[in-house]
Amino acid sequence: MDYTGQIPSQIAVAVVPARYSSTRLPGKPLLPIANRPLVLWAAERALAARTVARAIVATDDERIFRAITDAGFEALMTSHEHRSGSDRVAEVARNLDAEIIVNVQGDEPLIDPKTIDRAVAALVADEDAQMATTCEPVEDAADVLSPAVVKVVVDQAGRATSFSRSPIPFPSQAVIRHGSIEAALANEPALLFSFRKHTGLYAYRREFLLEFSAWPPSDSEIAESLEQLRALDRGVRIKVVEAASRSIGVDTLADLERVRRIVETEMKLTA
C-alpha cells in the first residue's frame, strides 16, 4: 500500500549515520561516486523525500563532517562510543524538535526518496506502531541462503513478526520433499515469493527512539546481530512496507563499482 497521499509534507527529520571505520571498505562514506562522497548521495536522496524537512549526517569523523558541510549539507559530530547506527541517530534526535526521525543508512547512495516517504507515512497511519521499516522481494535463491541478507516475516496487518539471517519462513515441507533447502529452492522457484528481504531504513517516533536506545541488547539481538530484534523482543510493533524501488547497500568494492556504473549511466541519459 502507498500511504504517501495521506500525510502532510516535511514532518520528519532524516539522520544519516556515517562512521569512517569499515572492515571491508575503510573510509567508505568518503569513497567517490561521480566525484562526490558516497554519504553525500545518501543525504541528498533523504532530503529529496517530501516528508523530510532536514537531512543531517551524524558522524564521528571530522573528515566526513568537513566533506558534508563544505558541500552545503548539515552534519553533526557524535560520540565515538556508539554500538550502532541507531544509537548515533538517537544522540542527534535528543536535540531535535520532530515527531518522526528517519534513520537513512549512509551506505545507501541510491535510496529512493519515495521509500522514505512510504516508511514515514506507514508509521503515521498505524497509531500502535512505534517504528516502521522497509522490505524488498527476494528474487535470487542465493539471497535466501546468505546470512548477509536479513529476512523478515510480516503478518496480515503489515507488522513484523520476526527477523533473521537464516531462511524464514523455513519451507519445511519443501525441504522434506527435496532433501535440502538448496534443492527445494532449485526445484520450486515459486518458494522465493514467500521470502522478503529486510532493508535497513527505519522511521521512529522520536520519543520511542530515545527510549529504545537506552535499552540493553536482547539475547536474540546479540545472537543475530540485528538491533531491531531488541524492539521486537519487547513487544514493539514494527510496521513493514515495501520499498518503492530497489536500493544497493555498499558493503564491498563490487557493490561500489555497481553503484558507480548505475550513476554514470543515469548521468549520461540526463546529459
DSSP letters along the chain, please?
---GGGS-SS-EEEEEEE-S--SSSTTGGG-EETTEEHHHHHHHHHHHSTTEEEEEEEES-HHHHHHHHHTT-EEEE--S--SSHHHHHHHHHTT---SEEEE--TT-TT--HHHHHHHHHHHHH-TT-SEEEEEEE---HHHHH-TTS-EEEE-TTSBEEEEESS-SS--HHHHHHHSSHHHHHHH-GGGGGG-EEEEEEEEEEHHHHHHHHHSPPPHHHHHHT-THHHHHHTT--EEEEE-SS------SHHHHHHHHHHHHHHHHHH-
More confident residue, 202 or 271: 202
Confidence (pLDDT) at 10: 78
Q: Examine the pLDDT at 4 and tell me if it is beyond 60.
A: no
Residue 5 pLDDT class (50, 70, 90 cuts): low
pLDDT tens string 127-163: 999 999 999 999 999 999 999 899 999 999 999 999 9
- Does residue 160 belong to any structural domain of this protein? no
On whether residue 169 sits in a domain, the answer given is: no
Residue 42 in any domain: the answer is yes
What's the number of domains the chain is made of? 1
Would you say residue 187 lies in a domain?
A: no
Which residues does 214 contact at the CB level (< 8 Å), separation at least 6?
none
pLDDT tens digit sequence for 63-120: 999 999 999 999 999 988 887 888 999 999 999 999 999 999 999 999 999 999 999 9
pLDDT reading at 193 higher than 80: yes
159 assigned to some structural domain = no
Residue 2 pLDDT level (bands cut at 50, 70, 90): low
Report whether pLDDT(227) > 90.
Answer: yes
| Residue 23 pLDDT level (bands cut at 50, 70, 90) | confident
The average pLDDT across 164-192 equals 97
Q: For residue 117, what are the domain limits?
A: 7-135+198-270
Average pLDDT over residues 14-37: 91
Question: Using 50, 70 and 90 to split pLDDT, how confident is the model at 266?
Answer: confident
CATH number of the domain residue 71 falls in: 3.90.550.10
Average pLDDT over residues 223-249: 95
Q: What is the pLDDT, as a whole number, of residue 7?
A: 62
Query: Residue 8: what pLDDT?
Result: 60
pTM (two decimals)? 0.92
- How many Cα atoms are found within 13 Å in the side-chain-facing hemisphere of 250? 30
Residue 61 lies in a domain: yes
Residue 77 lies in a domain: yes
Please tell me the predicted confidence (pLDDT) of residue 269: 83
Whether residue 161 is contained in a domain is answered as no
Cα–Cα distance between 252 and 118 in angstroms, integer?
28
Tell me the per-residue pLDDT of 155-168, one tens digit each, with 9 for 90 and over: 999 999 999 999 99
